[in-house]
């Protein structure tokens, strides 16, 4: 399955960023890459199922490419076949305490999710912390 989204790997964990065109998917990915994440794919992401795991990969034509508005297409190191651990849906007004029970079902598998505003200064840090929380198995504060 291929979807309109952007994906990065944070410490080996796959983060899928979804949102409308112009919502800041690539911008948030750029800030995460600047903080140490690795590009998986920008604009289109292939999602495949292997047992009870979803794997994120770039379409061949987009591998290693990141579009930066007003600067064009840039080549970046990228990874492929990364386990999806969290989905972030970009919205203008995220809910205050939404993360504890939010899930999205993709290809029959439940994936933790949360909402963020990509244009908030703290969005990249919040995304990293959300991934850390999932990886630590935390459900509370």
What separation, in Å, do the N-terminal and C-terminal C-alpha atoms of the chain show?
34
The answer to whether residue 126 is catalytic is no
- Does residue 128 contact residue 10 with C-beta atoms inside 8 Å? yes
Range of the domain at 37: 2-135
The answer to whether residue 25 is catalytic is yes
The residues, any chain, with a CB within 8 Å of residue 67's CB and separated by 6 or more, are 26, 42, 43, 73, 74
Number of domains in the chain: 1
pLDDT at 97: 64
Q: Which of 43, 49, 65, 76 is catalytic?
A: 43
Q: Which of 34, 50, 52, 96 is catalytic?
A: 96
CATH of the domain at 40: 3.40.50.300
Residue 90 bridge partners (DSSP): 116
Over the stretch 87-129, which tens digit does the pLDDT of each residue have?
A: 999 998 777 666 667 889 999 999 999 999 999 999 999 999 9
Structural domain includes residue 141: no
% of residues, the chain, pLDDT over 90: 70
pLDDT at 7: 98
- Does residue 75 contact residue 100 with C-beta atoms inside 8 Å? no
The answer to whether residue 31 is catalytic is no
Q: Which of 18, 20, 25, 50 is catalytic?
A: 25
The pLDDT of residue 19 is above 50: yes
Instruction: Calculate helix-pair angle for 25-34, 123-136, nearest 10 degrees.
Output: 70
Structural domain includes residue 93: yes
The answer to whether residue 83 is catalytic is no
Structural domain includes residue 140: no
Over the stretch 46-86, which tens digit does the pLDDT of each residue have?
A: 999 999 999 999 999 989 888 887 787 888 899 999 999 99
């Amino acid at each position: 399955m291929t979807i309109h989204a952007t994906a990065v790997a944070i410490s080996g964990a796959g983060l899928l960023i979804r949102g409308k065109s112009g919502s800041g998917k690539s911008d948030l990915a750029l800030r995460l890459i600047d903080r140490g994440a690795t590009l998986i794919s920008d604009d289109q992401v292939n999602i495949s199922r292997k047992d009870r795991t979803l794997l994120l990969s770039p379409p061949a034509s987009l591998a290693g490419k990141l579009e930066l508005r007003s600067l064009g297409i840039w080549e970046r190191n990228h990874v492929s076949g990364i386990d999806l651990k969290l989905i972030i849906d970009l919205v203008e007004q995220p809910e205050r305490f939404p993360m504890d029970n939010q899930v999205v079902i993709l290809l029959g598998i439940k994936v933790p999710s949360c909402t963020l505003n990509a244009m908030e200064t703290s969005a990249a840090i919040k995304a990293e912390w959300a991934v850390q929380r999932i990886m630590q198995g935390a459900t509370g504060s």
